[in-house]
Amino acid sequence: MKVRVDDDACHGHQMCAIAAPEVFGSDDYGNAVVLIDGDLPPELEAKARRAEGNCPERAIIIED
Amino acid sequence: MTATDDPRIDPLTDYDIFDRDFILDPFPVMDEIRESQCPIAHSDRWGGSWMPTRYNDIVAIAQEYETFTSQQILVTPPPPQQAEGAYANVAAPPISSDPPEHHWHRRLILPFFAPQAVAKYEQGTRDLCNSLIDAFIDNGRGDAAADYAQQIPVRVIATMLGVPTDLSDTFTGWVRGVLEAGLTDPKVRMESRMNILNYFRAQIDDRKANPRENDLITTLLNAEVDGQKVPEEYVHGVCNLMLVAGVDTTWSAIGASLWHLAQHPEHRAQLRENPDLWPMAIEELLRAYAPVTMARLVGHDTEFEGCPMKAGDRVLMSFPAANRDPRQFDRPDEVILDREHNRHVAFGAGIHRCAGSNLARLELRVALQTWLDRIPEFELEDPSAVTWAGGQVRGPRQCQVRFPVG
């Protein structure tokens, strides 16, 4: 599983980083950044899905 | 049948956001509107407004900033004299800004509010919370709203703005004048606005004469956009916004959360036994007790979900209503601290997402954690004696609790 952030849709709610702090962080402006290059370790997949389900802007994109 | 006690009021055509029953418990009225044939209600009261109640409609309005402008953002129209005089051009950027100016209005302040930037306020906030509890813990009772919640955000914001925290009661009075009494009393609203703007005008003059290191106001005064210093009216407006938006809102969220926890020992136990739950629990409390309703002004005649909206119409974005929509949230009226999917919009959505949300969350978490550490068991002294404010910002204003001493 890979994840990415749609930068046009993200408005910095940071709810992805709250749900999955190992996967998502913040840039200097509070917008979401993905902290992991490439495939997520399997143990973080459930958290990443939770992050996707917590974004009010639907800016988290999961690519299985 | 209507959900209010007054049989004359039809919520679909005549809701009253300042009705005492609505302030006390707005959710039955919101549910009635949301499940009706007309989920976007209209009322002529208080200058007139539309009130959508479904999550998808409210998020769409928040995201469609070209149609739904931020020329006015409070739930009642401004006093006529606000457009005159020395401060006529001082607004509350970026919340009162529309694109394209909105972009730089917001971008200049966002770095102050990123998660990594607000972390430095955590220890000071914890110390403040402890000192507030020290003042009443030996009494076995205290007011979770007035003695605690109300006292926290104003001091954090004052610290951030570099203004004296011992003026907190004065600042709180001004903010309540704008966001509470002033919404239905133009004179109070204008006086409170002038007090705030006069105070920050003097602060800006002071920073120009005596620039400070690591100071938000000084930093903004020196900020440049496209090689030009930003207008002082922008800095003035940001100060206005930070005070007005940073006090009532977070205080209401802290107070409502303590009101909830006072009545739910099982949630107190859940947090005690599973501290990892805190970040998600904070989001769930924000969902269930979202304090803020913002307004938009329709920019041009439009039809939205079958409603004929005219240029200049006011639309209320009731984030509390959105957050209780069963189309979006399972069992929306239940607080489920470990809720799996929670796309709540307590902080709004789109380009105007609350710039201070990371600070608000930090304050809410630290305030609740500190309270539960010191006062693990507590209950409402008299549930019927709890008073609430509402309209723009909903939260408890008096909330007496009792607890074992020692």
| Strand order, beta sheet including B68-69 | B40-43, B49-52, B314-318, B293-298, B68-69
For residue B5, being part of any structural domain is answered with: no
Examine the pLDDT at B166 and tell me if it is beyond 90: yes
Task: Locate the chain A residue with the closest alpha carbon to B322.
Answer: A56
What local confidence, expressed as pLDDT, does residue B265 receive?
Answer: 98
- What single-letter amino acid sits at A63? E
| Cβ atoms of residues B314 and B297 within 8 Å | yes
List of chain A residues with pLDDT < 50? none
Examine the pLDDT at B8 and tell me if it is beyond 80: no
Best of B106, B107, B347 to disrupt the A interface (most A CBs within 10 Å) is B347
Q: Which of B341, B349, B358 lies at the smallest CB-CB distance from A57? A: B349
What local confidence, expressed as pLDDT, does residue B7 receive?
Answer: 59
Tell me the residue ranges of DSSP E strands in B328-405: 379-380, 387-389, 395-398, 400-402
For residue B53, being part of any structural domain is answered with: yes
Number of helices and strands (H, E) in chain B?
18, 14
| Domain CATH number, residue B296 | 1.10.630.10
Asked if the Cβ–Cβ distance from B114 to A26 is below 8 Å, we say yes
What local confidence, expressed as pLDDT, does residue B199 receive?
Answer: 98
Asked if the Cβ–Cβ distance from B341 to A14 is below 8 Å, we say no
For residue B3, being part of any structural domain is answered with: no
What local confidence, expressed as pLDDT, does residue B316 receive?
Answer: 98
CB contact residues (below 8 A), chain B span 269-308, against chain A: 279-280, 283
User: Rounded mean pLDDT of chain B?
Assistant: 96
Confidence of residue B9 (pLDDT cuts 50, 70, 90): confident
Confidence of residue B195 (pLDDT cuts 50, 70, 90): very high
Q: Extract the tokens encoding B17.
A: 């956001």
Domain boundaries, chain A: 2-63
Examine the pLDDT at B1 and tell me if it is beyond 60: no
Examine the pLDDT at B182 and tell me if it is beyond 90: yes
| Cβ atoms of residues B125 and B152 within 8 Å | yes
Q: Extract the tokens encoding B87.
A: 């401060």
Q: What is the crossing angle of helices B168-179 and B232-246, to 10°?
A: 90
For residue B110, being part of any structural domain is answered with: yes
What local confidence, expressed as pLDDT, does residue A64 receive?
Answer: 84
> At B88, is the secondary structure helix, strand, or coil?
coil
Segment B209-228 shows an average pLDDT of 97
Neighbours of B338 (CB within 10 A): 12
Place of tokens 């304050």: B363
For residue B330, being part of any structural domain is answered with: yes
Segment B240-256 shows an average pLDDT of 97
Task: Name the domain count of chain B.
Answer: 1
* A-chain residues near B116 (CB < 8 A): 26
Q: What is the pLDDT of residues B297-344, one digit of tens each?
A: 999 999 999 999 999 999 999 999 999 999 999 999 999 999 999 999
Examine the pLDDT at B261 and tell me if it is beyond 50: yes
Q: What is the pLDDT of residues B86-140, one digit of tens each?
A: 899 999 999 999 999 999 999 999 999 999 999 999 999 999 999 999 999 999 9
Q: What one-character-per-residue DSSP string does A1-44 give?
A: -EEEE-TTT-----HHHHH-TTTEEE-TTS-EEE-S-SSPPGGG
CATH fold, domain A2-63, is Alpha-Beta Plaits (3.30.70)
What local confidence, expressed as pLDDT, does residue B406 receive?
Answer: 79
What residues make up the domain containing B217?
11-402
Asked if the Cβ–Cβ distance from A27 to B340 is below 8 Å, we say no
Q: What is the pLDDT of residues B47-89, one digit of tens each?
A: 999 999 999 999 999 999 999 999 999 999 999 999 898 899 9
